Amino acid sequence: MMSTFSLILAIITGISGVFWSIKKLYIMMCSRDQHKKIFLQKSTNMYQQSKNTYSLVISYCSIISEFISSIFPILLLVFIMRSFIFEPFRIPSGSMMPTLLIGDFILVKKFIYGIKNPITQTTLINTGHPKRGDIIVFKYPKNPALNYIKRVIGEPGDKVIYNIITKQLTIYSNSINDITCAQLLPIVYSNIIPSNFIQIFNNDENGKVNSSFIQIKPNQTYYHGIRLIQTTESFNNMEHNILTMIPPGNQNLVNTYDQHIKHLTSEWLVPEGEYFVMGDNRDNSADSRYWGFVPERNIIGKAIIIWMNIKKQHEGIWPISIQLHRIGNIR
């Protein structure tokens, strides 16, 4: 699994580094006065021979090489920061509502789960592993060119059960042989209230049903959509809000769940080295229930902070506002 963007950035940084090294070596070989004299002499010759095409080409090449070498320190800093420390992402969908909204810009801490080769994503130094409740960014197992963001629900060895009717989880940690379960993880659901989010359904030109979300004020009434239900889900000494749909949504979706022989429908045993993830917008998230587990090598890092939110009226329309109240830590 190769990161194309990281590879391109590494190549560009390497090329600029070569130009930068040549420039520094040239300066070291010449004294300051000699270098200035040579530079002035070259500038004079270029000016006098400006009509000469060859001289113009040399002049342009000199300017280009100077520019390439000058941006090397910036590229190197960006490469190190993006590859090993932090990487920015933008939330494109509502699958993590209400925790993360469309238009949120987040920072992902990359070194928390290990120092990885930015090109091949192989772990060089192991610094930790994802825990239940962590919000992670990862490469979609079915298409590594896409980045997904979800919440870790099951760790390796866990048995995860999702009740499609009650919208509640049951997790057995450290399951053994798919039959004996070591420990039932306490999960508490509380503060069940109508949310401020309305899901609207529309038909496109081809007759396909699409949905979108709007946020209304607490006392506002909206009749052209379904109001989602907000619930506080608590486990692992952490709590976060989730959204569900009442009425319970399309029960036929269970037929599209990722199934394994020996397991019942809506039940998954997480393999070693992989994780079960779900979106907080439970009825509007394509996650491990549908396409399976996330290998640890696919994980990019942990989402830690929202640093900006740009609100849009509709997709494709210019942003209308920056919502400063969205800035803050992610939980």
- Secondary structure (DSSP) of 216-261: --TT----SSEEEEEEEEEETTEEEEEEEESS---GGGGGGS---T
Confidence of residue 263 (pLDDT cuts 50, 70, 90): low
Residue 41 has pLDDT above 70, yes or no: no
Q: Which amino acid is at 253?
A: L
Of 6, 59, 95, 175, the active-site residue reads 95
The segment(s) of the chain belonging to CATH 2.10.109.10 are 84-329
| Angle at alpha carbon of residue 65, lines to 19 and 8, rounded to 5° | 60
Please report the pLDDT score of residue 322 as a whole number. 81
Superfamily for 84-329?
Umud Fragment, subunit A (2.10.109.10)
Cα(3)–Cα(300) distance, integer angstroms? 11
95 in catalytic set: yes
Please report the pLDDT score of residue 291 as a whole number. 95
Please report the pLDDT score of residue 192 as a whole number. 93
Cα(70)–Cα(23) distance, integer angstroms? 9
Please report the pLDDT score of residue 64 as a whole number. 74
| Mean of per-residue pLDDT scores for the chain | 81
150 in catalytic set: yes
Residues forming beta bridges with residue 147, ordered by sequence position: 139
DSSP state letters, 187-203: -EEEEEEEEEEEEEEEE
Residue 201 has pLDDT above 90, yes or no: no
Rounded mean pLDDT of 236-256?
76
Residue 266 has pLDDT above 90, yes or no: no
Cα(151)–Cα(279) distance, integer angstroms? 6
Residue 52 has pLDDT above 70, yes or no: no
Confidence of residue 46 (pLDDT cuts 50, 70, 90): very low
User: Strands, DSSP E only, in the chain?
Assistant: 86-90, 104-109, 115-116, 123-125, 135-139, 147-154, 159-163, 168-173, 183-185, 188-203, 209-215, 226-235, 238-245, 267-269, 274-278, 294-295, 299-311, 321-322, 328-329
The CB density around residue 196, as the number of other CB atoms within 10 Å, is 17
Of 110, 139, 150, 167, the active-site residue reads 150
Confidence of residue 50 (pLDDT cuts 50, 70, 90): very low
Higher local confidence (pLDDT), 319 or 284:
284
**What pTM was estimated for this model as a whole?**
0.79
